[in-house]
Amino acid sequence: MSTESIDQLVLAISNIAHVEKPCLENLLTIKKLEIAKEPVDKENYDAEKKVIMWENTIRDLNNWTLTWALLKLTCGLQQEKERSVEGLKKAKLLVIETSEKVQEEKDKIHEVEVLNEKYAVEYRTLQKYREDVSLLLDEVVKDETVFKSQIDELKEKSIKLFENIQKLEKVKDLIKEADNSLLEAILELRASTSKETLMAEGKIYFPEVAFACLKEARALYPELPGFKSPTDYVNESDNTGAYYSPMQKYLWDVRKRLAELTSWCAEEALVVLEEETQTQIQLGRKVDEYNLERRRLLKELM
């Protein structure tokens, strides 16, 4: 048989194989930037929720003012309202500041994506050429050289690394869901002081959604570190001037622990992503070496 088609594909591969490394490394950079953006997204989300919190507080205070106006008991309420208005201003400023940070991170990602567009197109072409030449060679050369076993090992390694990355992403999603449910619980407790009052002394209000998510995360990724429950209550304001009850503060402190878990997952993911990228680069090179060797054997048989 003629090897013209195989020769043409091998030549085409050699002409664009150089794009593989920069393309995959740029994809890795994009993923790193996306991971770096996650805590910024959280800051923005928290700021938006604090705007809602202060808006609800002001609305409730206005209702109290109307109720107690005739009894001339509005002095303390008025001071609280002024403090809440100031807190709302701070929260809205935080939304603006964190939104700008989010956009900065998006711009960084977009910059690398644009840079990688040409590489990505050529890399897809490279993958297609490799697939085509491998199929052609499979039909005529059934060679089980050391290259084949090395390729199989790299493929297996890549699959395992990818599965690990997916697990870490799922764990981060579960932690995020738990974190969001804790924030909603804090807002709920602030909106209804009776809920805390009705709870037995020493009891902690912990959302079932958060508990279920953390339980699933640990089952999915046993290596996930544990954390100690917060024990000390410090009566201090947040970055908008808001104060929280001991139970609310406890939930805020748990959220800080969850942020640490998310950071741990991010660090783990970065290590695995780096290894997976290098594995893909090695795999591509090894496939090319394997196909060149098979083409050589084919020419010897002709």
Please report the pLDDT score of residue 231 as a whole number.
77
**Non-local CB neighbours of 212 within 8 Å, separated by 6+ positions:** none
Q: What percent of the chain lies above the pLDDT cut of 70?
A: 91
Burial of residue 183 (number of CB atoms within 10 Å: 0-12, 13-18, 19+): buried
Q: What percent of the chain lies above the pLDDT cut of 90?
A: 71
Please report the pLDDT score of residue 144 as a whole number.
65
User: Does residue 218 register a pLDDT over 60?
Assistant: yes
CB 116 within 8 A of CB 9: no
Q: pLDDT tens across 1-12, in order? A: 568 899 999 999
Confidence band of 205 (pLDDT split at 50, 70, 90):
confident
Please report the pLDDT score of residue 228 as a whole number.
83
pLDDT, average across residues 50-70? 77
Please report the pLDDT score of residue 220 as a whole number.
96
Kindly list the distances between the CA atom of residue 119 and the CA atoms of 15, 26, 158, in Å, as whole numbers in the listed order. 13, 9, 21
Task: Give the pair of three-digit tokens for residue 167.
Answer: 């697990």
Distance CA 197, CA 295 (A): 79
With b meaning 16 or more CB within 10 Å and e meaning fewer, what string describes 268-294? bbbebbeebbebbbebbebbbebbbbb
Please report, as a single letter, which amino acid is at residue 191.
A
Please report the pLDDT score of residue 70 as a whole number.
44
Confidence band of 130 (pLDDT split at 50, 70, 90):
very high
CB 217 within 8 A of CB 174: yes
Please report, as a single letter, which amino acid is at residue 24.
L
Please report the pLDDT score of residue 193 as a whole number.
64
Distance CA 5, CA 73 (A): 92
Helices 75-140 and 4-16: crossing angle, nearest 10°? 150
Please report the pLDDT score of residue 44 as a whole number.
97
Task: Provide the 8-state DSSP code for 14.
Answer: H
Question: How many CB atoms sit inside 10 A of residue 198's CB?
Answer: 9
Please report the pLDDT score of residue 227 as a whole number.
84
Residue whose token pair is 């999915």: 220
Of 144-148, 182-186, 245-249, which gets the smallest average pLDDT? 144-148
Measure CA 235 to chain center.
32
Q: What 3-state DSSP class applies to 81?
A: helix
Confidence band of 74 (pLDDT split at 50, 70, 90):
low
**Non-local CB neighbours of 203 within 8 Å, separated by 6+ positions:** none
Please report the pLDDT score of residue 138 as a whole number.
87
Secondary-structure breakdown of the chain: helix, strand, coil percentages, each rounded to the nearest 5: 85, 0, 15
User: Does residue 53 register a pLDDT over 90?
Assistant: yes
Kindly list the distances between the CA atom of residue 142 and the CA atoms of 129, 176, 290, 293, 302, in Å, as whole numbers in the listed order. 19, 50, 12, 12, 15
User: Does residue 97 register a pLDDT over 70?
Assistant: yes
CB 154 within 8 A of CB 283: yes
Q: pLDDT tens across 41-51, in order? A: 999 999 999 99
Q: What 3-state DSSP class applies to 219?
A: helix
CB 147 within 8 A of CB 286: yes
